[in-house]
Amino acid sequence: MASVSDPLLLEETFSPESQEAVAQCVRDAYESNTPVYPLGGETSLDYGCSAQMPGIGLSTRGLNRVVDYPSRDMTITVEAGITMESLRRQLEAQRQRLPIDVPQAAQATLGGVLATACDGPRRFGCGTIRDYTIGITAVDGRGTMFRGGGRVVKNVAGYDFCKLLVGSLGTLATIVQVTLKVVPIPEASRFVVQRLNSHAEGEQRVAELLQAEVTPTAIEWLVGPAWNDLPALPSSADDTPAGWLVVAVEGTQTEVDWMTERLVQRLASPTGQQVVQTTSEQTATIWQRLSEFPAAEKHPLVLRATVLSSAVADLIEAFRQYDPQCSIQSHAANGIVLARFSKFEPADIAQQLIARWQPMARQASGHVVVLSADPSLGLTRQAIWGGAGDDWPLMQTVKQQFDPKGLLNPGRFVLP
Ligand SMILES: Cc1cc2nc3c(=O)[nH]c(=O)nc-3n(C[C@H](O)[C@H](O)[C@H](O)COP(=O)(O)OP(=O)(O)OC[C@H]3O[C@@H](n4cnc5c(N)ncnc54)[C@H](O)[C@@H]3O)c2cc1C
């Protein structure tokens, strides 16, 4: 886990116990022109550029209360410092869940998950954290508390602040309270696993699954040594350079049985290749491993590319050509490729990341961002975020409105 002192230049850290105390803390910082670095569980502080200016840490961990849980309305209002594990336990008691897969859930906070807007494998069938967020209370760069959305599902009038704050990496406001819609926990869950003979076959299989009559919860394409000991895989990584397709189905027991049967039929023909289905114990282990992959262990470089799903195979091939020991988790139907490299040299920043992979992703209507990197690489903003897009002027105007002095997480995001 990253330590506070690593990527941020913190002179002092405050841990307010109330939302009003967070606002007061930011007001004081505004008066004294002091940069503010919001902190959640501190699991992802190396995501984004390093801080350039010393400032204060503003921990939200003291904000961890459940404010309201009308479970029959399928909504919950909680403070933003609640950990994802604690939230999961609250919801599980009512047989409900927030179907967002997050690594290090015992430390990661809801506010941090919203600020980083990362999504896991269930994104394909269940959507993103943005989709489940119906209300946010936050404190802007002047220390003013504001609310967007509300506590009921249909409640958006005017500008939708909730969606704006999700993924803004704490540069527009510090999130202090969140209302989420939640869903029932499905009765059953299972994976269907197939070995892939080539990247072309992987691409074709994913395209077929998008047309299939079944509705998978996740369509994962896994490649490389990180997956060698995953249960139920029909071969080792050395024998399977193109990797495995791992498809999840969830629902009632009858639905899961029916979807499994259909998937096995579809994937087995026309090659007659072996298709494996998981036991419930294997299913639980695989969900856990899929959730933890991006953050598990330290690597010289961890990238996240988002492209058209038709470009996933080319990107996987390019990453593996550069580093045959690279391990990949692709939420393939969503066009997301997470790559953990076993090596990455400073010269490769220009030669691979900027000259090859970023343009490949742009050509496929996407982008590449660095999730974490060895600090000795000294990555630039261009290398980490891939440069500003066409929405740059609009983003600057929005930033100016929320944080006129530029004190919230200065320099850490796409904007300098
Ligand atoms: C290498 C790596 C890869 C990851 N990849 C994925 C992935 O692919 N999918 C996935 O689901 N998860 C992923 N995660 C995890 C996810 O990003 C974290 O779970 C999430 O950021 C919550 O972490 P935290 O509470 O520890 O936030 P922190 O690490 O404390 O903060 C992360 C960022 O959010 C800001 N922040 C934190 N709290 C708030 C708040 N209340 N208001 C405003 N800003 C705030 C911070 O300023 C900081 O910039 C990854 C994590 C790592 C380390």
pLDDT at 395: 85
Using CA positions, which residue lies closest to atom 37 of ligand 1?
112
Nearest 5°: phi and psi at 350? -75, -45
User: Which structure tokens are listed for 95?
Assistant: 């047989």
What CATH number has the domain bearing residue 140?
Answer: 3.30.465.10
Per-residue pLDDT, averaged over 192-209, amounts to 93
Q: Choose among 348, 334, 364, 336: nearest CA to 301.
A: 348
Using CA positions, which residue lies closest to atom 2 of ligand 1?
295
Tell me, yes or no, whether 272 and 391 share the same domain.
no
Structural domain harbouring 283: 188-293
User: For residues 372, 166, 89 and 1, what is the CA-based torsion angle, rounded to 10 degrees?
Assistant: 20
The residue whose CB lies within 8 Å of the most ligand 1 atoms, and thus the one to mutate among 59, 118, 303, is: 118
Q: For residue 378, how far is its CA from the centre of ligand 1 (angstroms)?
A: 21
Tell me, yes or no, whether 123 and 4 share the same domain.
yes
User: Pick from 226, 259, 293: which residue ends a domain?
Assistant: 293
pLDDT at 155: 52
Q: For residue 54, how far is its CA from the centre of ligand 1 (angstroms)?
A: 21
pTM confidence score: 0.94
Tell me, yes or no, whether 5 and 48 share the same domain.
yes
User: Pick from 230, 264, 293: which residue ends a domain?
Assistant: 293
Give percent of the chain above pLDDT 90.
79
In this predicted model, what pLDDT tens digit does every residue of 366-377 receive, in sequence order? 999 999 999 899
Tell me, yes or no, whether 108 and 1 share the same domain.
yes
The residue whose CB lies within 8 Å of the most ligand 1 atoms, and thus the one to mutate among 44, 174, 408, is: 44
Q: For residue 363, how far is its CA from the centre of ligand 1 (angstroms)?
A: 28
In this predicted model, what pLDDT tens digit does every residue of 204-239 receive, in sequence order? 999 999 998 999 999 999 999 999 999 988 878 778
Q: Looking at 12-21, 160-169, 210-219, which range is the least confident one?
A: 160-169
Using an 8 Å Cβ cutoff, are 376 and 338 in contact?
no
What CATH number has the domain bearing residue 195?
Answer: 3.30.70.2190
User: Which structure tokens are listed for 109?
Assistant: 């906070």
Q: Within its chain, how far is the Cα of 185 from the centroid?
A: 21
Tell me, yes or no, whether 312 and 281 share the same domain.
no
Tell me, yes or no, whether 169 and 64 share the same domain.
yes
Tell me, yes or no, whether 343 and 392 share the same domain.
no
Tell me, yes or no, whether 226 and 101 share the same domain.
no
| Ligand 1 closest atom vs CA 37 | 47
Tell me how far apart the alpha carbons of residues 372 and 48 are, in angstroms, rounded to a whole number. 8
Q: For residue 233, how far is its CA from the centre of ligand 1 (angstroms)?
A: 30
pLDDT at 5: 42
Tell me, yes or no, whether 304 and 258 share the same domain.
no
Q: Choose among 141, 122, 112: nearest CA to 41.
A: 112
| Ligand 1 closest atom vs CA 302 | 1
In this predicted model, what pLDDT tens digit does every residue of 330-342 receive, in sequence order? 999 999 999 999 9
Q: For residue 167, how far is its CA from the centre of ligand 1 (angstroms)?
A: 10
Using CA positions, which residue lies closest to atom 50 of ligand 1?
295
The residue whose CB lies within 8 Å of the most ligand 1 atoms, and thus the one to mutate among 1, 3, 13, 43, is: 43
Tell me, yes or no, whether 3 and 142 share the same domain.
yes
Q: How many domains does the chain have?
A: 3
| Ligand 1 closest atom vs CA 80 | 41
Chain mean pLDDT for the chain: 92
Residue 3 has pLDDT above 70, yes or no: no
Q: Any residues with CB less than 8 A from the CB of 155 and at least 6 apart, and which?
A: 134, 135, 149
Tell me, yes or no, whether 244 and 233 share the same domain.
yes
Please give, one letter per residue, the 3-state secondary structure of 128-188: CHHHHEEEEEEEECCCCEEEEECCCCCCCCCCCHHHHHCCCCCCCEEEEEEEEECEECCCE
What residues line ligand 1, using a CB cutoff of 6 Å? 37-45, 48, 60, 80, 101-103, 107-109, 111-113, 115-116, 118-120, 169-170, 174-175, 294-295, 302, 338, 371-372, 409
Polymer length in residues for the chain: 416
pLDDT tier for residue 24 given thresholds of 50, 70 and 90: very high
Residue 407 has pLDDT above 60, yes or no: yes
Tell me how far apart the alpha carbons of residues 127 and 234 are, in angstroms, rounded to a whole number. 29
User: Pick from 293, 313, 343: which residue ends a domain?
Assistant: 293
Tell me, yes or no, whether 257 and 237 share the same domain.
yes
pLDDT at 371: 94
Using CA positions, which residue lies closest to atom 53 of ligand 1?
44
Using CA positions, which residue lies closest to atom 22 of ligand 1?
112
Residue 154 has pLDDT above 80, yes or no: no
